[in-house]
Structure 1
Amino acid sequence: MNKYEIMFIVKPDVEEEARNTVIETLKAILATDNGTIDSVNEWGLRDLAYEVKKFSKGYYVVIETTTTPANIKEFDRISKINDSVLRQLTLRK
């Protein structure tokens, strides 16, 4: 198990209930196979440095987790498929 810090940006036009569902789904992927979610920090709606898919704002979420590389790979796959996620970045601590 390794420690990771993951930041992802959700589209600003996603409703609060749908956004919370996206966040919980992604957290559940990281928590499988004895993975743990150490902290979740929702930064909220912020300006992007540059337009991404014609959006100038995004809802930022930072997750610190201890999980397996397989869970990270699945997280990356699902976040790329999900239309609500604009960008994501995973860093190993």
Structure 2
Amino acid sequence: MTHQYELMVILNPEIDERQVAPNLDKFLKVITNDGGSIENVDVWGKRRLAYEIQKKNEGIYAVVSFTASSDATRELDRQLKLSEMIMRTKVLRAEEAIAMIASEKQRADEKAARKAARPAKPAVKQDA
């Protein structure tokens, strides 16, 4: 049985950005060889990391949407984690990714609503 997945990869920033897609394609052969399909490879480029990974402050982000069996997806994740050029990976089923994005948006909306509901602080009068 195949499912929709989304893979986020953070690659070593020292790699030439033009080499990101060809390097990812080598790994993605695991999916296509198993009968899966790659829908989209979106290279976001170099971004600042929220925290240091492997003594680096930047990484090259890429997001891949694909359809595959869970076995092929596990093998893809295993191979990515073994590669020295890959700093982090995260594979999510598409339904999980959509749910996660929706819950983050809801949390942000609730926070904005709470902030808007707070009474404004009264202006402080200055005595001259």
Same fold by TM-score greater than 0.5: yes
2: distance between equivalents of 1:64 and 1:4? 6
Please state whether the residue corresponding to 2:51 is helix, strand or coil.
strand
Match of 1:48 in 2: 49
Q: Percent identity?
A: 31
Paired AA for residue 37 in structure 2:
T
Shift of 1:26: 1.7
For normalisation by structure 2, the TM-score amounts to 0.68
Shift of 1:14: 1.8
Shift of 1:16: 4.3
Tell me the matched-pair count: 93
2: distance between equivalents of 1:17 and 1:43? 12
Query: What are structure 1's unaligned runs of at least 5 residues?
Result: none
Q: Which has the higher contact order (CA 8 A, sep 6+)?
A: 1
Match of 1:84 in 2: 85
1: distance between equivalents of 2:21 and 2:37? 19
Aligned pair 1:63/2:91, yes or no? no
Give 1 or 2: higher strand fraction. Answer: 1
For normalisation by structure 1, the TM-score amounts to 0.91
Over residues 61-82 of structure 1, what are the superposed CA-to-partner deviations in whole Å (9 max), with x where a residue is unaligned?
1000000111111111101110
Distance 1:16 1:42, change over 3 A: closer
Paired AA for residue 40 in structure 1:
V
* Structure possessing the higher radius of gyration over alpha carbons: 2
1:17-36 matches, within 5 Å, as 18-36=19-37
Match of 2:3 in 1: 2
Match of 2:12 in 1: 11
Paired AA for residue 35 in structure 2:
N
Give 1 or 2: higher helix fraction. Answer: 2
1: distance between equivalents of 2:34 and 2:11? 25
> Which 10-residue stretch deviates more, 23-32 or 35-44?
23-32
Query: What are structure 2's unaligned runs of at least 5 residues?
Result: 95-128
